[in-house]
Structure 1
Amino acid sequence: MKRLVTTLVILLVVIIAGMTSLVFLINPNDFRNYMVNRVEQKSGYKLAIDGDLRWHVWPQLSILAGQTSLTAPGAKEPVVSAQNMRLDVRLLPLLSHQLSVKQVMLKSAVIRLTPDSEANEPDAPIAPAGSGNQDVSESDNGWKFDIGHLSVEDSLLIWQRAQSDQINVRDINLQMDQSSSRQATIHLSSRINRDQRDLTLNVDANLNMQNYPRQFSADISNLSYTLTGADIPSKGISGQGSLQARYQQNTNTITLNKLSLSANDNQLTGSGQAVLSDVPDYQLNLQADKMNLDEISGWQPSSSKSDGTQQQAQAVMSAPVIARDIDQQQNGLSVLNGFNAQLGLKAVAVTYRGLAIENLDLQATNHLGEVQLSKLTGNMGQGTFSLPGTLNSTHQQLEVSFAPELTNIQLGDLLHAYNLPQALTGSFSMQGKLGGKGLSLEDFDTHWQGDAQMSMADAHINGLNIQQLVQQAVARSSNRVQGMDRYQMYSQIQQMQASGKLRNGELSLNNLNAESPMMNFKGEGKVNFAQQQADMNLLVRVTGGWQGDNPLIATLQKTDIPLRVFGPWKQLNYELNADQVLRQQLQQSARSALQNWIDSRTHNK
């Protein structure tokens, strides 16, 4: 046992002595220029290392460097700069005069993807195809260079897309291992904070760089994320994803396959493609069995508009005022102005503001901010909808235009989805053209115009029984007739049609006609969406439910009685002049009877 221990101690002393001797015999600055030259020969980038390189023996044989930067040709600022760089090297290759780097570690690095860090060599000659793979002499002062692992810790990425649009990706921790066949595995974690919104990311991926730079691919096996903050549901948005991506240099194209992404209760699959030209062109095809958009937006149902505002505030944090002002100034969709795109989305079941939508089919194209919605169709209950249209985000305010076609959609569900009083419910159908500025409910209430033909079946005018109003008014004026004893808090309409004109939130209804077994009416009026008020002038003819004097009933069944319905949707008022009409009808009947008697006496003489 003592001999074994003695042998191990001697072996350890020899190793330590050998490493110490190696450190003293080999100066890391001997291959400093080689590393700088090789980086520039292979990529054109300039590697700058401030100060001397020095050895660090324990616990890992390493070379330490001070301030380090990597700058693109002609760039004003470095692409990568780090306060410290560490090269972990293998011991045995050093004995044969080879520098084999197990790991390069950058700590507190700053990565800049900004206009100032981009290459700027307008007069530089273009290298021939494949020049990036030409063999470069591996020796400089007898050294050879190889890297197996890259580590980036606690670093920052600055991504500037426009002059005033900068995104900072913080807390970057990257671990990358590569094999001799130019295969690499990557684990990345980071955090993005912007406009009081926080996004955390974790990515595991495999890279294939065998044909780099002509072609390379990535297989992202796991992407997990969590988004919290302003205008995000209180519980946040989180999910996982995976995809396969490939880049082709000759066409400057990124192709996405086997795309899978979840967001709370939503799961999307599909494929895509991006052509990264001066004007990027994107194509995306997505499918989903189930989508719950309320889980992402934080929408919650409520019994009234005020309650809805309170519940919405509890579900979603408000965005900062500055962020809201910027979004309003850029009309919310101004990001569409910088690229072309095609989007196809098909979903079996969708939940939006409590509405259950089936077989959703969306087909849209974008050309530099001019969007064509060639198809937006789906089913709601027993009804269908089609909402083709256009959006234009190239102006200061978003301009929209739609040609809706609704068939047998339950109007009560739509009113409930937008927290509006259900003054009128039933099976709603419409054809028309509508448009204006903005997409919010407030925009519709103030900035939209259009024309439409509307109809309803099995409709209820809630809170107002027109038939019984008329019958009670007549009964008060004459004891010869009375109406039905059973009282209902709604008017039941079998069929109703009208044509409408929408102007800045006020809907004018013309040629209004309604039919039911016991009542018909016609008329016109206005509905103000912003103030949630109505003013309707109707001529009502009650044809059933009368009891009493048959001649008078026969007269009433042919008489149109004026009725004005006005006021807030939640509490409608009415004006009814039944007694005046009744007196006129009785006077007319009396004059007719008297004239008939005179005519008959004259004829007998």
Structure 2
Amino acid sequence: MLKKILVMLFIVILVIVISIVSLIVFVDPNNFRGYISQTVKDKTGYELTIEGDLRWHIWPQVSILTDSVKLSDTGAKKPLITADNMRLDVELMPLFSKNLAIKNVFIKSAIINITDESKGENAKNSTKAITNSSPQQPTTTEDKNEDQKNPSNWKFSLNKFEIADSTVAFQHDRDLINFRNINLLLEKNNEKNLSLVFNGNINKNQQDLFYSLNANIDLSQFPEKAVIDLKKLDYTYNSIANRGNELKGSATGLINYQNSPMQLNSQNLAFSINDNSFTSNINVRFDNKPNVNFQLNANKLDLTPFLQTSEKSTKNTPVQQTSPVVSNVSKINNELSVLNTFDGKAKINIKEIKANKIILNNMNVDVVNQDGIATLKDLSFNFANGQIAATGIANGKQKTPQVKLNTKVNNINLNSFFTQMNMAYDLDGVFNASGVLETNTLSTAKLLQNVKGNANITITNARLNNINIQNIIESAAAKYGNGNINPENQKKYTEFHKITAGAFINQGDIQLNTLNANSETLDVIDGSGKVGMVNHDLDVNLNIKILGGWNSKSDTIAKLQKVTIPLRIYGQFSKLHYQLDIAKILSDVFSDKLQKRLDKLRDKLENNDSKNEDKNNDKSKNKHKALDILGELLKK
């Protein structure tokens, strides 16, 4: 029995050896050279050049080896793909029935150039070729061409395509991006289904992006439809700017492609950036102008790592002194010009956004873009215990960008606002405002300087810290009033029930056209000035009336309560100063009192002189009274 088994095994080995020998002897791989090149030409339109002789490789599997190969577009200056060698793993038995069944095409250390120099007629006409292609073409004209160009009637099939340790040079405009360490595996699961494994890294300007992709591609209805099932896409981003704080993430989802009308749409698309997770739906319709419908939802978005990265890169970058360049040509650039390239709409909902100390809640954005003009239907979020909402437009059709927003600010707590903004402050209260704001730039560095518009401002339960207006006036009055007035209010702040102002915002300053405030002890009848949001300073002139709070009674106090007292407050938010000319005010008060006494004396003297019938003793009495009145005035 064992002898029979050995004999059968020997016969099998002999048959295999004879088959291989027959293959090597009777089938010359160079017979496939023109057929393979022509097949690639018919299928893709690109020209495959195989240099040197094709040769068999028997172990560990039957393969055809080539020397240098090149894949070029017609009319291109440089080849699209260059590889030192290529291996075609073939199935043995189909070769005897003139079927070149390739199990795998393996290309190692290839250089792939996707640059202007590698683009030829096929690259320029690729869009037209895809649009005009029909599913019936491969089964009719192609078969005829194969019969004419391949009289031996060899058949061709490919099950697997693999690229290892290769490089892609990709040119976008003037930027050259290098895709390195590329490993690509494209394999048939069945006749109309492919699996794709793709990984590598991208280098550009000391920035590295590592990626790994795994997906299934359903081509059962191609070219009319195709479905990409993105199983997983992992990535890691590093750069010299964010060294030690890399960005990581992944993505999964289903992407559907449709040819007529041409569109892409996603299902269950989810992705993450570090600890931030998002769900999204994207629908892109490729009409004459692309139409994009975008939805994004997230529970949390933490921008702090990105901001820290930006701050580090700014600190570590040396400032280079360069001579100024003078140009007579003024550059006009609309940062919103991209709005002209597509139409669409977007809805964004993020429950919480963090940026250092700043926390925004319930961020909602609803915007529609049509013919280069984006209409902002809703922009709203909660901030500092209040809410900010806006509607408006962004115009990308003009020479310069124009953004116009109708803005409402409700119940912002100023203490929380300044704390989150990391700004020194001396003003507390609940802030409300409404107005129309405009800007002609989107640059964060220039935004405050370029915002302008009118606003109506109201601050309730306001407190001006580190300055007590009433105490300033009382102390000044006591100093110039010979001690007749004792300051009562020793608090280190000024309180107002309400502050209202009409303002014009321009070049980073809030110009206060009108300013009114009231409290139990003083009123601000009218005021004006400016608040600098860029320089964090203010310069305000107030006209104040003291209503109460005096702890003593005198003619001076009574007079001060009737006059309007001018007060100037100025300086940095963190160190405010004041200016008050109380001496002039008191001088005006006293000169007014003296004038009234002199008027009374003049009246009395005139009355006495008119009475000629009075006796001489009466005249002497009147003189004594006049002297008494003058004496009292001098004492005052």
Q: Normalising by structure 1, what TM-score? A: 0.84
SS at match of 1:531: coil
Offset of 1:178 from its aligned partner?
1.0
Aligned to 2:405, which of 366, 379, 402? 402
Offset of 1:182 from its aligned partner?
1.6
Aligned to 2:163, which of 152, 158, 169? 152
SS at match of 2:304: helix
Offset of 1:454 from its aligned partner?
1.4
Partner of 2:135: 130
Report the Cα distance in structure 2 between the residues aligned to 1:255 and 1:35, rounded to whole angstroms.
Answer: 36
Deviations 1:90-127 (A, max 9, x none): 233334442222211222334444552443469x9995
Report the Cα distance in structure 2 between the residues aligned to 1:441 and 1:242, rounded to whole angstroms.
Answer: 33
Report the Cα distance in structure 2 between the residues aligned to 1:131 and 1:408, rounded to whole angstroms.
Answer: 67
Letter in 2 for 1:226: T
Report the Cα distance in structure 1 between the residues aligned to 2:53 and 2:276, rounded to whole angstroms.
Answer: 54
Report the Cα distance in structure 2 between the residues aligned to 1:350 and 1:18, rounded to whole angstroms.
Answer: 70
Offset of 1:254 from its aligned partner?
1.1
1:557 aligns with 2:558: no
| 8 Å Cα contact 2:372/2:396 also seen in 1 | yes
Partner of 1:499: 502
Partner of 2:532: 528
Partner of 2:231: 221
SS at match of 2:446: helix
Report the Cα distance in structure 2 between the residues aligned to 1:271 and 1:48, rounded to whole angstroms.
Answer: 43
Partner of 2:106: 105
Offset of 1:224 from its aligned partner?
1.3
Offset of 1:208 from its aligned partner?
0.4
Deviations 1:576-601 (A, max 9, x none): 11232133234435655776899999
| Higher RCO, Cα 8 Å, sep 6+ | 1
Report the Cα distance in structure 1 between the residues aligned to 2:214 and 2:431, rounded to whole angstroms.
Answer: 50
1:349 aligns with 2:344: no
Partner of 2:47: 46
For structure 1, list consecutive stretches of 5 or more residues without a partner in the other structure. 300-310
Offset of 1:179 from its aligned partner?
2.5
Partner of 2:581: 577
Aligned to 1:186, which of 190, 196, 217? 196
SS at match of 1:404: strand
Provide closer, same or farther for how the CA distance between residues 228 and 466 of structure 1 changes in structure 2, counting only shifts above 3 A. Answer: farther
1:547 aligns with 2:548: no
Provide closer, same or farther for how the CA distance between residues 462 and 25 of structure 1 changes in structure 2, counting only shifts above 3 A. Answer: farther
Report the Cα distance in structure 1 between the residues aligned to 2:56 and 2:295, rounded to whole angstroms.
Answer: 54
SS at match of 1:460: strand
Report the Cα distance in structure 2 between the residues aligned to 1:130 and 1:475, rounded to whole angstroms.
Answer: 99
Letter in 1 for 2:23: L
SS at match of 1:28: coil
Report the Cα distance in structure 2 between the residues aligned to 1:412 and 1:245, rounded to whole angstroms.
Answer: 47
Letter in 2 for 1:203: L
1:312 aligns with 2:311: yes
Offset of 1:206 from its aligned partner?
0.8
Report the Cα distance in structure 2 between the residues aligned to 1:11 and 1:528, rounded to whole angstroms.
Answer: 94
Report the Cα distance in structure 1 between the residues aligned to 2:101 and 2:448, rounded to whole angstroms.
Answer: 69
1:484 aligns with 2:483: no
Report the Cα distance in structure 1 between the residues aligned to 2:246 and 2:101, rounded to whole angstroms.
Answer: 45
Aligned to 2:462, which of 439, 459, 463? 459
Offset of 1:219 from its aligned partner?
0.7
Provide closer, same or farther for how the CA distance between residues 58 and 200 of structure 1 changes in structure 2, counting only shifts above 3 A. Answer: same
| 8 Å Cα contact 1:237/1:296 also seen in 2 | no
Greater Cα offset, 275-284 or 132-141: 132-141
For structure 2, list consecutive stretches of 5 or more residues without a partner in the other structure. 326-330, 612-636
Provide closer, same or farther for how the CA distance between residues 484 and 156 of structure 1 changes in structure 2, counting only shifts above 3 A. Answer: farther
Root-mean-square deviation (Å): 3.8
Q: Normalising by structure 2, what TM-score? A: 0.81
Provide closer, same or farther for how the CA distance between residues 178 and 579 of structure 1 changes in structure 2, counting only shifts above 3 A. Answer: same
Greater Cα offset, 71-80 or 522-531: 71-80
Partner of 1:308: none
| 8 Å Cα contact 2:463/2:495 also seen in 1 | yes
Provide closer, same or farther for how the CA distance between residues 46 and 58 of structure 1 changes in structure 2, counting only shifts above 3 A. Answer: same
Letter in 2 for 1:52: D
1:198 aligns with 2:208: yes
* 1:374-453 equivalences in 2 (<5 Å): 374-392=377-395, 398-453=401-456
Report the Cα distance in structure 2 between the residues aligned to 1:316 and 1:219, rounded to whole angstroms.
Answer: 43
Provide closer, same or farther for how the CA distance between residues 554 and 91 of structure 1 changes in structure 2, counting only shifts above 3 A. Answer: farther
Deviations 1:107-166 (A, max 9, x none): 2334444552443469x999563234425447742432221221122233344443x244
Provide closer, same or farther for how the CA distance between residues 425 and 49 of structure 1 changes in structure 2, counting only shifts above 3 A. Answer: farther
Greater Cα offset, 95-104 or 253-262: 95-104
Greater Cα offset, 76-85 or 378-387: 76-85
Provide closer, same or farther for how the CA distance between residues 47 and 381 of structure 1 changes in structure 2, counting only shifts above 3 A. Answer: same
Partner of 1:279: 289
Report the Cα distance in structure 2 between the residues aligned to 1:278 and 1:167, rounded to whole angstroms.
Answer: 29
Letter in 1 for 2:135: G
Report the Cα distance in structure 2 between the residues aligned to 1:22 and 1:360, rounded to whole angstroms.
Answer: 70
Letter in 1 for 2:544: V
Letter in 2 for 1:144: K
Greater Cα offset, 144-153 or 437-446: 437-446
Deviations 1:224-261 (A, max 9, x none): 11222266585132211112111111222111121111
Report the Cα distance in structure 2 between the residues aligned to 1:515 and 1:247, rounded to whole angstroms.
Answer: 66
Report the Cα distance in structure 1 between the residues aligned to 2:192 and 2:113, rounded to whole angstroms.
Answer: 25
Offset of 1:74 from its aligned partner?
5.7
Offset of 1:491 from its aligned partner?
2.8
Offset of 1:20 from its aligned partner?
4.7
SS at match of 1:545: coil
Deviations 1:421-462 (A, max 9, x none): 224333222222222333345313433322221121222333
Greater Cα offset, 41-50 or 424-433: 41-50
SS at match of 1:387: strand
SS at match of 1:549: coil
1:210 aligns with 2:210: no
What percent identity do the matched residue pairs reach? 29
Provide closer, same or farther for how the CA distance between residues 418 and 337 of structure 1 changes in structure 2, counting only shifts above 3 A. Answer: farther
Offset of 1:523 from its aligned partner?
0.9
Offset of 1:26 from its aligned partner?
2.0
Aligned to 1:171, which of 162, 170, 181? 181
Deviations 1:345-400 (A, max 9, x none): 11222224533322221122345764333321122254221133344456776543
SS at match of 1:212: coil
Report the Cα distance in structure 2 between the residues aligned to 1:541 and 1:257, rounded to whole angstroms.
Answer: 67
Report the Cα distance in structure 2 between the residues aligned to 1:143 and 1:106, rounded to whole angstroms.
Answer: 23
Aligned to 2:364, which of 361, 366, 377? 361
SS at match of 1:134: helix
Q: Name which one, 1 or 2, has greater alpha-carbon Rg.
A: 2
Greater Cα offset, 179-188 or 232-241: 232-241
Report the Cα distance in structure 2 between the residues aligned to 1:317 and 1:262, rounded to whole angstroms.
Answer: 29
Provide closer, same or farther for how the CA distance between residues 85 and 581 of structure 1 changes in structure 2, counting only shifts above 3 A. Answer: same
Report the Cα distance in structure 1 between the residues aligned to 2:480 and 2:391, rounded to whole angstroms.
Answer: 54
Offset of 1:183 from its aligned partner?
0.7
| 8 Å Cα contact 1:233/1:316 also seen in 2 | no
Report the Cα distance in structure 1 between the residues aligned to 2:319 and 2:82, rounded to whole angstroms.
Answer: 33
Partner of 1:263: 273
Deviations 1:478-519 (A, max 9, x none): 22222235432x333321111112232233211111122333
Provide closer, same or farther for how the CA distance between residues 558 and 367 of structure 1 changes in structure 2, counting only shifts above 3 A. Answer: same
Give the total of aligned pairs.
586
Provide closer, same or farther for how the CA distance between residues 460 and 207 of structure 1 changes in structure 2, counting only shifts above 3 A. Answer: same
Provide closer, same or farther for how the CA distance between residues 561 and 102 of structure 1 changes in structure 2, counting only shifts above 3 A. Answer: same
Aligned to 2:521, which of 501, 518, 522? 518
Provide closer, same or farther for how the CA distance between residues 440 and 475 of structure 1 changes in structure 2, counting only shifts above 3 A. Answer: farther
Offset of 1:335 from its aligned partner?
5.1
Offset of 1:525 from its aligned partner?
0.7
SS at match of 1:35: helix
Provide closer, same or farther for how the CA distance between residues 473 and 249 of structure 1 changes in structure 2, counting only shifts above 3 A. Answer: same
